[in-house]
Structure 1
Amino acid sequence: MTTITSNWQAVHAAIAAAARAAGRDPATVDLLAVSKTFPASAVREAYAVGQRAFGENYVQEAVEKMAELADLPIEWHFIGPIQSNKTRSIAEHFAWVHGVDRPKIAARLSEQRPAGLPPLNICLQVNISGEDSKSGVRPGEVEALAQAIAGLPNLRLRGLMAIPAPASGETERAPFARMRELQQQLNAHGFRLDTLSMGMSHDFAAAIHEGATLVRVGTAIFGPRNYGETT
């Protein structure tokens, strides 16, 4: 058994255990394998085990990987900060985008989504911990952004995404609970959000306890990253 295979199985078991501990059906939590900086061969290996959704942060790296893996029906998610000059490539190649935090970016993604492709699934990024170093809208600005995006023709607003500040103990779950409350508030105002993209290798158990429907796990599956020149 390879390292990626055994790691993937261990992560799946941990997700299932966290879901059961929260009184949830493990089938309600999806795993997004974050494959940024890892080669196409690593993605192919994880796919062979059963992983189908993969997350990428760097557009050029991702597009090259997609070409190498074109024989596999992978669901590709873009999860990094979005530059205006990258929106066309993102709109053309990805099924999901997790980091939308500006109406301008959303409008460009909608305009540049090719005809014939299904609507691009969108999660709004929320700066839930109020960190200056992180992207995302403040919680009080989420509904206005959702309203601005909801009417765009080639997008489907699916949910919210966050990367909370590192925490431990009783405080670890608090930002995830606030994200769940935000989703509930938006749905009470007529939105139909079904996705909470939150939780990574170090904190997905806490996120699952508070309602995460998709957890983003990279290092726990693929191992430590070696950051080189990626765009």
Structure 2
Amino acid sequence: MGADWSSLEAEIDYSFRNREFLVRALTHKSRTAEHTSEPSADNEQLEFLGDSILGFLVSESLVCLFPGYREGRLSKLKAHLVSSLHLQEVGSYLRLGEYLVLGRGEEMSGGRSKKALVANACEAMIAAIYLDGGLEAARAFVQRHVIRDFDRNALDGRAPLSDHKSELQELCQALKLAPPRYTTVNEQGPEHAKTFTVEARIGKEWVCRAEGASKKSAGQQAARLLLDWLRQAPERIDSASGGRTEL
């Protein structure tokens, strides 16, 4: 296979000792149906295991974050964080769909962009990391990519969960601008408390940077800065030149 697994490992912030776990986590049953009769070669069992690991780790984190909450309130927060919708968002941000190993039919039917497949791959990835690196490695992944991207106010329902990257993408499409691109330009701090700097760019004209506790949150903040800047002075769009404006 020609997949660049090193690039994916950089995206998920974890390097596998045994990449067979990584490949299996991304292998859909349509692939194994065409190439082998071995059911364990696809990601369904990992998805099953990952679902349980995710539930435990999310529950653990929420109890630590909100020690005064009753069970019902914690259950609502957990339901959101382990939902297929949220896992699909996490998986899409990590570009898991680009790395899915699909059968020919699934590939032709647009399987890489199917929400269910991406969400399932996210669960399978959690199990793969657990089997390869243990519970601490899985915990780090869940805290960084599933939980830490949402601040306490947002999780608690006091603030909306905003998707600034989608808003910026839609604005660019409406204005016939180049799609925004995001690059991680810096990361610093200890492994358990890193700070990431992400650059958001539209063509060569507009660039801004933001920091966050994860690549996803930093990217969201960078997108928000670009959105605010464009909306506050729409004439900048009409007067765009080939220069580089950094915010």
Normalised by the length of structure 2, the TM-score is 0.21
Of structures 1 and 2, the one with the larger relative CO (CA 8 A, separation 6+) is 1
The normalised TM-score by structure 1 is: 0.22
**Structure number with larger C-alpha Rg:** 2
Bigger proportion of residues as strand:
1
Task: Give 1 or 2: higher helix fraction.
Answer: 2
